[in-house]
């Protein structure tokens, strides 16, 4: 339960930023759909998906699994993009980039908390809690980043992977998009989280080492 209380606010913040990034970049590319629907906001209420933002992360936390979830996808009308291909790629990568930037931000915050703990040892209880939260933020955002890079619809990586394929294969790839959720569930069932977990642990370790170096620990 303690893990859930720490992880859930960080996860919700991270998936909201992910969706806001999609919406903001879509507007820069000519599509105002998400903006008109009020989705360019850090207020979590318009973004929350009760199932993906609360229920799934809660179940995963209680079963000891990795904490992962999602917000409601922002509505995008790619036909409004000034350049369809460029817009589709940039909007798709915006969410992934936002999670990378958040991982960097949480690394910097972790370094500050580590330094503050050294300078104010009397507040180590509160600062220790902050360190745990920032560490969770690093791990969750690397997990979200790598998970969304999986080239299976409807994940962000599929939009980029599509343009790397020869035309005939790309057409077939688009056709299987309607089964993407089932394919994704199969990938996860067959050990997708284990596969992603290795680079997530590696990147998290690098980030923590960087924070320790910055804090002089």
pLDDT value at residue 90: 98
The pLDDT profile of the chain, 217 residues, written as one tens digit per residue, is 677 788 899 999 999 999 999 999 999 999 999 999 999 999 999 998 888 788 878 777 777 767 778 889 999 999 999 999 999 999 999 999 999 999 999 999 999 999 998 888 777 788 999 999 999 999 999 999 999 998 888 889 999 999 999 988 888 888 877 776 677 667 666 666 677 889 999 999 999 999 999 998 6
pLDDT value at residue 157: 93
Domain extents for the chain? 2-215
19 is catalytic: yes
pLDDT value at residue 125: 83
Catalytic residue among 11, 14, 18, 19: 19
C-beta neighbour count of 102 within 10 angstroms? 23
Q: Measure the CA–CA gap between 114 and 117, rounded to whole angstroms.
A: 5
């Amino acid at each position: 339960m303690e893990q859930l209380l720490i992880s859930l606010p960080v996860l919700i913040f991270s998936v909201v930023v992910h969706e806001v990034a999609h919406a903001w970049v879509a507007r820069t590319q000519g599509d105002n759909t998400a903006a008109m629907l009020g989705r360019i906001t850090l207020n979590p209420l318009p973004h929350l998906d009760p199932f993906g933002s609360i229920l799934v992360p809660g179940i995963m936390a209680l079963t000891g699994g990795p904490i992962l979830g999602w917000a409601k996808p922002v509505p995008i009308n790619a036909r409004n993009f000034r350049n369809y291909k460029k817009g589709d790629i940039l909007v798709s990568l915006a969410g992934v980039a936002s999670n990378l930037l958040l991982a960097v931000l949480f690394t910097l915050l972790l370094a500050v908390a580590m330094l503050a703990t050294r300078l104010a040892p009397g507040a180590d209880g509160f600062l220790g809690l902050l360190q745990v939260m920032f560490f969770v933020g690093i791990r969750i955002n690397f997990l979200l980043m790598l998970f969304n890079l999986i080239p299976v619809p409807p994940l962000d990586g599929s939009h980029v992977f599509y343009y790397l394929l020869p035309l005939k294969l790309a057409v077939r790839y688009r056709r299987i998009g309607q089964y993407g959720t089932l394919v994704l569930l199969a990938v996860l069932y067959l050990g997708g989280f284990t596969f992603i977990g290795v680079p997530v642990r590696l990147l998290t370790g690098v980030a923590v080492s960087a924070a320790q170096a910055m804090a002089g620990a």
